[in-house]
């Protein structure tokens, strides 16, 4: 059927329909070039224009200051778990990590290969259902950087503040909430995000780095994982993920047409609050994220009965709400409601939840 579903996948996930339609209309012949963006040399004039425009759009929308470089890499977000310590830990040999979920834990473990890693905060004691407060962060003033993950995709929590670490550079994994709110980039040393949630198809990793932090890599840092290589070559040391960069450009057009990051933030909490209210007011469902720490992007919830959870997921899918099954680590349900999820999709899901709550 050619009917699109409401896709609540955690990533890869929904992209704006207008971006997909635009890509579709240009897929065999990009604006008179006689070829698809997929078929173009990354050094061609027409692709360089796409590349530069996409960089400029992202700089404008995120208000990225001078002195910061935007990189389009292919490492996957997970590649950054290695690339960050390889490039940044050399300053003092030490780094602070906040572990608030699966991906920050993976980053924390990987970093231990490269230096002295200090656990600055952890939410493991309550199954990653909350974000530690600023006063709970145990900060080492000698850390080369402080690492955290802004939105915990699996557990459904999100930092509601930017940590204050004094002069220690902030490094942040924004894979699952980038472009969902305005961010003061000048507070960060490095921001990164895998593209496959709020930006583009999988295959692109965006890194925004304060340029002065690059160039101090450990001596055995692979060339391809050296930020300095990529800064000097403007992400074109090797072939960049051309198609994903083009798609990011189309997504950014949609973001701008919909009020930029302030517009995205408004829609984000409109969707999320509606869903949390519905779940909080139900008799069957409990949310995993504690109030004050809840994610505006990934809403995690369960009934307490695995059987009933499975029934919910399968009946929802039949009704056109797909990919609501929680991550295998947590069980239960997860509704990922990224930028491209229409408010209407969440409204209809809330109606479905209310009806299920009544009937069971
Ligand atoms: N960080 C976060 C917050 C994520 O959600 C994910 C993937 N879901 C990753 C890192 C890993 O991303 P990738 O698969 O691109 O390596």
Q: What is the domain range of residue 279?
A: 6-17+259-359
Whether the predicted interface score ipTM is above 0.90: yes
Considering the domain architecture, whether residues 36 and 64 belong to the same structural domain is answered as yes
**Test site for ligand 1: of 79, 171, 172, 175, most ligand atoms within 8 A of the Cβ:** 175
Does residue 216 lie in a domain region?
A: yes
Q: Which atom of ligand 1 is nearest to the CA of 151?
A: 3
Indicate if ligand 1 lies below 6 Å from the C-beta of 174.
no
208 domain-assigned? yes
What is the rounded distance in angstroms from the CA atom of residue 132 to the CA atom of residue 108? 16
Q: Are 92 and 52 within one domain?
A: yes
Distance between CA 329 and CA 275 in Å, rounded?
22
Cβ(175) to ligand 1 under 6 A? yes
Do 236 and 273 lie in one domain? The reply is no
| Torsion of Cα atoms, 253 then 258 then 262 then 264, to 10° | -90
Residues 133 and 181 in one domain: yes
pLDDT digits (tens, 9 = 90+) for 194-214: 999 999 999 999 999 999 999
Which stretches in the chain have pLDDT values below 50? none
In a domain, 311, yes or no: yes
Same domain as 321, residue 216: no
**In terms of domains, do 170 and 250 share one?**
yes
Which string of DSSP letters, residue by residue, matches 279-322? Answer: HHT-SS-EESSPTTSB-SSEEEEE-S-HHHHHHHHHHHHHTTEE
For residues 71 and 185, membership in a common domain is answered with: yes
Domain count, the chain: 2
Q: Are residues 203 and 285 in the same domain?
A: no
Beta bridge partners of 309: none
Distance 1 CA to ligand 1 centre (A): 31
Task: Report the nearest atom of ligand 1 relative to the CA of 104.
Answer: 1
pTM exceeding the 0.80 threshold for the entire prediction: yes
Structural domain contains residue 1: no
Query: Would you call the peptide bond into 165 cis, given omega within 30 degrees of 0 as the criterion?
Result: no
Annotation: binding site: 43, 77-78, 103, 153, 173, 196, 238-239
198 inside domain: yes
Residues 82 and 178 in one domain: yes
Output the domain CATH number for residue 204. 3.40.640.10
Euclidean distance between CA atoms 249 and 29, whole angstroms? 17
CATH number at residue 352: 3.90.1150.10
Of the three residues 224, 256, 288, the one that is the final residue of a domain is: 256
Identify which of 298, 345, 350 has the alpha carbon closest to the alpha carbon of residue 325: 298
Question: Where is the domain boundary, 256, 272, 288?
Answer: 256
Q: How far is the CA of 105 from the centre of ligand 1 (A)?
A: 12
Q: What letter would DSSP give residue 75? A: S
Please indicate, yes or no, if residue 89 is contained in any of the structural domains: yes
């Amino acid at each position: 059927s050619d009917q699109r579903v409401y896709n609540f996948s955690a990533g890869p996930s929904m992209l704006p329909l207008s971006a997909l339609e635009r890509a579709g209309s240009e897929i065999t012949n990009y604006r008179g070039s006689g070829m698809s963006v997929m078929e173009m040399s990354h050094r061609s004039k027409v692709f360089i224009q796409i590349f530069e425009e996409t960089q400029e759009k992202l700089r404008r929308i995120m208000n990225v200051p001078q002195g910061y470089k935007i990189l389009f890499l292919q490492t996957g977000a997970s590649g950054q778990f290695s690339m960050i310590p390889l490039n940044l830990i050399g300053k003092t040999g030490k780094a602070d990590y906040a572990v608030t979920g699966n991906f920050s834990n993976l980053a924390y473990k990987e970093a231990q290969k490269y230096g002295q890693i200090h656990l600055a905060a952890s939410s493991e004691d309550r199954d990653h259902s909350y974000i530690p407060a600023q006063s709970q962060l145990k900060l080492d003033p000698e850390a080369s950087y402080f690492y955290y993950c802004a939105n915990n995709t699996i557990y459904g929590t999100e930092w509601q503040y930017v940590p204050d670490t004094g002069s220690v550079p902030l490094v942040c994994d924004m894979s699952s909430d980038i472009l969902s709110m305005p961010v003061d980039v000048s507070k960060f040393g490095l921001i990164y995000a895998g593209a496959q949630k709020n930006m583009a198809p999988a295959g692109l990793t965006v890194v925004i780095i304060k340029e002065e932090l690059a160039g101090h890599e450990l001596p055995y840092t692979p060339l391809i994982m050296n930020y300095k290589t990529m800064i000097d070559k403007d992400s074109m040391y090797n072939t960049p993920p051309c198609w994903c960069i083009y798609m990011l450009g189309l997504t950014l057009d949609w973001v701008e047409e919909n009020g930029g990051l302030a517009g995205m933030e408004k829609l984000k909490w409109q969707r999320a609050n509606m869903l949390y209210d519905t779940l909080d007011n139900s008799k069957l469902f409990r949310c995993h994220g504690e109030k004050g720490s809840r994610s505006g992007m990934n809403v995690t919830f369960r009934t307490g009965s695995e059987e009933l959870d499975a029934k919910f997921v399968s009946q929802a899918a039949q009704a056109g709400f797909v990919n609501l099954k929680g991550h295998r680590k947590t069980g239960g349900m997860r509704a990922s409601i990224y930028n491209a999820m229409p408010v209407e999709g969440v409204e209809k899901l809330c109606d479905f939840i209310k009806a299920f709550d009544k009937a069971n």
